[in-house]
Amino acid sequence: MPKTLIQTVKFKVPPEVLYEIYMDAKKHSAAIQAPVTITRKVNDRFYIFGKSIFGKNLVVIPSQLIVQTWRADDWKVSDADSILNLSFKKDRGGAVVELIHVYIPDNQYAGIKTGWTTYYWNPWKEYLKTLA
């Protein structure tokens, strides 16, 4: 049965900065040190880590919310796309990213759970140090 992942991560920058890191292809690529193709348009496709992760933008509210279909190239054809919700909110001293990732295939859950920290949250924190 598909699983849901919820993570909340604090950063010491405004929500707009975090949103831009995700939605600007050059910043996204620099932050995760991998090729990224992404736009801010609803229904446009995106590709992360080359084409290892891909999907489509469903909702884009600047500096606030991103909702995407999301899947990896090693998923079974029979696996449904997962849905990724990223919200960006002001918090004391900066902002938080709230991630809700639903419909993750059982056999992918553990890797995705650790992958967000390993390939996103920790690299974002390092990337933000280079901007200071």
Give residue 24's pLDDT.
Answer: 98
pTM of the model: 0.95
What CATH number is associated with residue 68? Answer: 3.30.530.20
User: How many folded domains does the chain comprise?
Assistant: 1
Provide the domain limits for residue 8.
3-131
Q: Tens digits of per-residue pLDDT, 4-26?
A: 999 999 999 999 999 999 999 99
Share of the chain above pLDDT 90, in %: 98
Which DSSP category does 104 fall into? E
Q: How far apart are CA 71 and CA 56, in angstroms?
A: 10
Q: How far apart are CA 67 and CA 2, in angstroms?
A: 18
Share of the chain above pLDDT 70, in %: 100
Hey, what are 23's tokens? 């939605």
Give residue 132's pLDDT.
Answer: 74
C-alpha angle 54-60-65 in degrees, rounded to nearest 5: 100
Tell whether the model's pLDDT for residue 120 goes beyond 80. Answer: yes
Cα-only R_g, the chain: 14
